Amino acid sequence: MLRTAVLSGVAGLVIAVDWLRFEDPRSGGGRPFALVVLAIAPTLVRPRWARFCAVAVAAFFAFCIAFAVAPLHVGRAAGRFERGFLDFYDYRLPFDPHELVRMHQVVLIAIFAFTLAVALAVAARRAVPAVIAFLVGAGWPATLLAGGNELGRGVVILAGALLLLAGLTARPSRLAVGAAAVVIFGAFALSSSAAVAKDAFLDWQHWDFYTRPQKPVSVRYVWDANYGGVRFPKKVTTVLSIQAPRRPMYWRATVLDRFDGTRWRERLSRVAPDEPSALSPRGVEDHSKWIRQDVTVRALDDNHLVGASIPVAYNVSEPAVPSGSGVVTVVDGLHRDQRYSIWSFAARPTPVQLVRVRAAYPAALTRAGSELELRGRANAPPFLAAGRERRMFALLTGRLQPYAELYDRARAVAGQTRSPYAAAVALERWFRVTGGFTYSEQPGTTPGLPPLRLRAGALPRRHVDGQRPRRPHVGRGLVPALRVVAVRSHPGARPAERLVQFNLARLRPVGRGEAARDRRQGGRGLRRRGAGDRRAR
């Protein structure tokens, strides 16, 4: 029994240390090593039938400990194991166990399972099965996460395997011990030589268990303006599943910041180093105010990371490129069942605060060829700029001539207010209620503004935000079939990934709908408009 406990304990310790390398920071606590002890304990029981009963009991309690479930609900462990196992294909290693709890639980159960396999073989005095189980249990995680003292880990694993061979041999001789030492030294020397480096024969680390046929759906028509109309299919397709707090939000994929004379288009660019700090809203540094969303791709044919306004950070396993204004694109596009996390910041100023906001804009918004570009590299004058009307009419010539009349009408609707947000609310009410417009479908609760007013009013960009549907199973809104299948809260944890750029104000495109009734008063409209997070009911 003592030999079984010692050999199994050494093997279990090596296995646990190798698997815990996946976590950064380390989770702490003694659960991994408690599971090692729990895996070894039943192998010390005799006779054999009692040992198998003890193994079953130990496995039951191991699942309860690893997956944090009550004994009466141990059946939930299977679903948690499946999600945690698939997470290893969606997130980089090492991972944060406080954020990716399911992956941490899979690590715990792997430590228990491999230690139990080694301990059972040791108790049965089967040297070869014990060594194989140990090499798989300790070598597998060592090959999945490179870096650190790889040679040292390899020597420790080899020494553990030889220790099992020697310990399970009836009479280990001095010759066997000497040969083991020579093998360890030779393996260390050879592994440090580039001459023995060789590509993997099977490359099993990159095996992918996703084998289902993919039939993704594209929703690019949301931001690829087409005045020929949009035909919505009868079949509702779930394109994304999002876990997020129970707070109404708009989901955005990109921004349209280039006007070609008839419509807004997407223009992706590299993030300028000075723009994130210049455009940062107050309070964004407080990570406790960030809203986390865990997104699972179901059937979306696109390369944009979709998240709530305003995105400030992201964590995705695939190579991604920040393209400015909080837009992030995945190099090879999204694929079915891919998971990623995105964090958003939504300011909540009061109506009084918004009305008092002066029409002052940072240089990142007003420099030539940036946010207010109207034609060529000529920018629309900011709101309340000196000689603004004269300069605007000088720019609205040629192919932009039809917009001169629209600009004149917008000036009449907005009145003489000195608040850009008050002007935006007046224009919105005109489009929704007093302008005499009719729509083919009911618009959203807060439709956006026309392209010219966004530029002429110096509100930074027209954002593509799909509203969350009122009923999750109905594909309505600007992104049809965007289904929120689960809602839960996350603790305010600081993400390990890089920040991405964001903007000052978030406005979604004009909604579709019949003659709409005004469902809110001016004060509420100001709050929603300026908060940067256009809220949907």
Residues 515-525, mean pLDDT to the nearest whole number = 32
Neighbouring residues of 218: CB distance < 8 A, sequence distance ≥ 6? 300, 301, 302
Q: Is 243 helix (H, G, I), strand (E, B) or coil?
A: strand
Q: Is 217 helix (H, G, I), strand (E, B) or coil?
A: strand
Asked if the model's pLDDT at residue 342 lies above 90, the reply is yes
The model's confidence at residue 292, banded by pLDDT at 50, 70 and 90, is very high
Report how far Cα 218 is from the mean position of its chain's Cα atoms. Answer: 20
Residues 378-394, mean pLDDT to the nearest whole number = 84
pLDDT value at residue 5:
87
- Which is it for strands 240-244 and 291-297: parallel, antiparallel or unpaired? antiparallel
Asked if the model's pLDDT at residue 366 lies above 50, the reply is yes
Residues 104-124, mean pLDDT to the nearest whole number = 90
Point out the least confidently predicted range of 4-8, 423-427, 501-505: 501-505
* pLDDT, tens only, 26-61: 776 788 888 889 888 888 888 888 888 988 988 888
Number of alpha carbons in the 13 Å side-chain half-sphere of residue 468:
25
pLDDT value at residue 300:
87
pLDDT value at residue 499:
28
Asked if the model's pLDDT at residue 341 lies above 90, the reply is yes
Asked if the model's pLDDT at residue 189 lies above 60, the reply is no
- Identify the helix (H) or strand (E) that includes residue 323: none
* pLDDT, tens only, 263-279: 777 877 666 544 555 66
The model's confidence at residue 230, banded by pLDDT at 50, 70 and 90, is low
pLDDT value at residue 398:
84
Domain boundaries, the chain: 2-193, 220-530
Residues 459-477, mean pLDDT to the nearest whole number = 33
Neighbouring residues of 356: CB distance < 8 A, sequence distance ≥ 6? 419
Q: Which regions of 348-461 does DSSP assign to beta strands (E)?
A: 373-375, 378-379
DSSP category for residue 148: S
The model's confidence at residue 468, banded by pLDDT at 50, 70 and 90, is very low
User: Taking the alpha carbons of 122, 128, 134, 136 in that order, is the dihedral positive or negative?
Assistant: negative
Work out the widest C-alpha separation in the chain, in whole angstroms.
101
- Which is it for strands 320-322 and 240-244: parallel, antiparallel or unpaired? unpaired
Burial bucket for residue 29 (CB in 10 Å: 0-12, 13-18, 19+): exposed
* pLDDT, tens only, 406-419: 889 998 998 888 88
Residues 124-149, mean pLDDT to the nearest whole number = 82
Q: What is the pTM of this model?
A: 0.45
AA identity, residue 219: V
Question: Phi/psi of residue 38, each to 5°?
Answer: -65, -30
For residue 141, what are the CA distances in angstroms to 38, 245, 371, 404? 21, 34, 48, 66
Q: Is 95 helix (H, G, I), strand (E, B) or coil?
A: strand
The model's confidence at residue 226, banded by pLDDT at 50, 70 and 90, is low
What are the helix (H) ranges across 22-100?
31-40, 48-66, 76-87
Asked if the model's pLDDT at residue 512 lies above 80, the reply is no
- Which residue would you say has higher pLDDT here, 12 or 87? 12
Instruction: Report the alpha-carbon distance of residue 217 to residue 228 in Å, rounded.
Output: 20
Residues 71-80, mean pLDDT to the nearest whole number = 76
* pLDDT, tens only, 304-328: 999 988 888 889 888 888 877 778 8
Asked if the model's pLDDT at residue 516 lies above 70, the reply is no
- Which residue would you say has higher pLDDT here, 436 or 209? 436
pLDDT value at residue 114:
92
Neighbours of 248 (CB within 10 A): 14
Asked if the model's pLDDT at residue 450 lies above 70, the reply is no
The model's confidence at residue 463, banded by pLDDT at 50, 70 and 90, is very low
